[in-house]
Amino acid sequence: MENENVLILGLGGVGMHLTKRLSNEGHAVTVIETDPHLIRQASEQLDVRIVSGNSMQLQLWEHARAKQMDLMLAVTNDDATNMMAGLIADKFGIRRKIARVRSLDFEKGSVLPAEELKIDLMVHPEELVAKEIERLVLRASGNDMIDVCEGRMKVLGLRVTEQTPIAWKTPRELAAVYPFPFRLVAIARGITTMIPGASDVVRPFDQVFLFALEQDIPHIMREMGVQQRTLQKVMILGGGRIGRRVAQLLEGSMSVVLVEKDIHTAEELAGMLRNTQVIHGDGTDANTLITANLDEMDTFIATTGENETNIISCLLAKHLMNKQNRDPNGSVGKTIALVNKEDYLVLASTIGLDIALNTKISAANEILKFIRRSELLSVAHLHGVDAEVVELLAPSGSLITKKPLRKLANYMQDHRILVGGVESRGEWRVAVGDTHIQPGDRVIAVCPSLNLNDVRRLFQ
């Protein structure tokens, strides 16, 4: 993808994240923002052009050189501003226009659909996270499972304990032990994300991600002691926009209990949700959770607006849902937390939570996926870690096709890149050191979010 001129409206969570990512990838980014604190923060951290003021003032668009822009991203905290920006951008001749909109009232078939607002992609952050929670709950097995290349390869996420067979082993040792091929592609440890090299050691309490062919995933799950089970009972903490939407999505297929602290919100939800039991109470209070029969639940989902509440309640729930305390053959419940402070994401995944989700990152990833669709065949983000799985086509003459992967190891280690899989002549296989990628092959690579440009250089 050629570097583009990008206009971003708003430096809130989504805007700041997108500004960092796109400027790091070499795009010329201009931002319109009103908040002096956010402007100062961006000026100190990023090499971008900032126009101070309200994005609804048309002279600021002129000052931002809107006519030269290839792409406009309206990601302010105001739906009306973001939707109006689509019409303004169209008048300035900006070719592609994306808007963050919380309301679901502007989809196809509505009185005022996105096309009439001249918006190419309308992103709904809370809906994205709610749908992702639904997917994770319905999948049930393991901590996480991500489909790659139409599901023919998968990434399995799991927490390592002293009993996990891969504990205290290196990727080099794992390759010699197991008869079916898989790659260890990422490790979350403490507050850091590692793209492991051949000699890095897996430790207990690590959150690891294993990449394998679809047909080998059941074998890997059995070897790692990952239980496959059908989830029947779910408890949701927080009846805000995300919590109530998750309840709506799940209540038709399983038993759902929703705990809400505010009495008026709880009463409203009780009238709105037909098949969900709504309980008024404090989700950080163990007695409230015990009274609500948390010990019988399979999954606990914390979606309040407070990061600390979500993390603490999930840790408490993890203990209360551990049926192995009563029965050695019992299951251990799954926890999913909404964590909107990025600094807490990896930490949350390594102190005991199974999955941590972030609305800002989910929205930004959806936008980036749309922007990159002409270059990347697919993109997936690993939950709770700073890593992306990207699928690319290897062009003739590119560096990735000139040598076996082993001879590119220095470059890939320096830039924290790992090639996980390759499709050649219609057949997918897990990549190893002797793999020599050919022109036209489809390739799966894993890298930190900010290292995507380094992956691109391999494929130019």
Q: What is the pLDDT of residues 184-207, one digit of tens each?
A: 999 988 768 889 988 999 999 888
Closest by CA to 321, choosing from 388, 244, 233, is 233
Instruction: For the chain, state the CA radius of gyration.
Output: 23
Q: Considering only residues 101 and 372, tell me which one the structure prediction assigns the higher pLDDT.
A: 101
pLDDT exceeds cutoff 70 at 375? no
**Is residue 189 within 8 Å of residue 182, measured between CB atoms?**
no
3-state secondary structure of 321: coil
Q: Please, what is the angle between helix 125-139 and helix 241-250, to 10°?
A: 40
DSSP state of 67: G
Q: Assign 178 a pLDDT band (cuts: 50, 70, 90).
A: confident
Greatest alpha-carbon pair distance for the chain in Å reads 68
Beta-carbon count within 10 A of 113 CB: 14
Q: State the average pLDDT over residues 223-227.
A: 81
Among 57-66, 214-223, 323-332, 427-436, whose mean pLDDT is lowest? 323-332
> What share of the chain in percent tops pLDDT 70?
93
Element (H, E) at 455: helix 452-458
DSSP state of 210: E
Is the CATH number 3.40.50.720 carried by domain 233-361?
yes
**Superfamily grouping for domain 387-458:** Regulator of K+ conductance, C-terminal domain (3.30.70.1450)
Distance (Å, rounded) from C-alpha 353 to C-alpha 337? 7
Tokens 């163990």: give the residue.
Answer: 286
In this structure, what token pair is assigned to residue 111?
A: 């009185």
Distance of CA 153 to the CA centre of its chain: 18
3-state secondary structure of 87: helix
Of the options 3.30.565.10, 3.30.360.10, 3.90.700.10, 3.30.70.1450, the CATH number for the domain spanning 141-224: 3.30.70.1450
Q: Residues 377-411: pLDDT tens digits?
A: 667 777 767 788 888 999 999 999 999 999 999 99
Domain ranges of the chain: 5-123, 141-224, 233-361, 387-458
What is the pTM (predicted TM-score) of this model? 0.80
Q: State the average pLDDT over residues 205-224.
A: 89
Distance (Å, rounded) from C-alpha 456 to C-alpha 329? 47
Q: Assign 140 a pLDDT band (cuts: 50, 70, 90).
A: low
- Residue 300 is predicted with a pLDDT of 95
CATH fold, domain 5-123, is Rossmann fold (3.40.50)
Say yes or no: do domains 5-123 and 387-458 share a fold. Answer: no
Amino acid at 151: G
